[in-house]
Amino acid sequence: MHGHEGLLRFAALQTEAFEEFWVQPQEMIDAGDRVVVPVRFGGRAQHTGLEVVFDVVHVCTARDGKAEALEAVGLRE
């Protein structure tokens, strides 16, 4: 999945599978024009009631507007 719509769709699909759901980014790793974010998420599965935990890695790519986004939150490139 790509872009904002892909991220929203992914999040919606994941949360629908759980009665309870949590997300914990582990760190944010600067990789030039990318940010690598290991994430742990889990919760109680909707259909089985089992507690589950997953570790995944998200790679976000900054393109046009990167500098403006950083300035908007008080950071500089």
Q: What is the CATH number of the domain that holds 28?
A: 3.10.450.50
| pLDDT value at 24 more than 80 | yes
pLDDT, residue 67, reads: 56
Residue 26 falls inside a structural domain: yes
- Structural domain containing residue 40: 3-72
Number of domains in the chain: 1
Compare 37 and 32 and report the one with higher pLDDT.
37
Average per-residue pLDDT in the chain? Answer: 81
| pLDDT value at 35 more than 70 | yes
| pLDDT value at 55 more than 90 | yes
Residue 77 falls inside a structural domain: no
Q: How many helices (H) and strands (E) does the chain have?
A: 2, 4
pLDDT, residue 72, reads: 60
Distances (CA, A) of 56 to 24, 51, 59, 75, 77: 11, 17, 10, 27, 27
| pLDDT value at 10 more than 60 | yes
Taken in order 66, 67, 73, 77, the sign of the CA dihedral is positive
Residue 55 falls inside a structural domain: yes
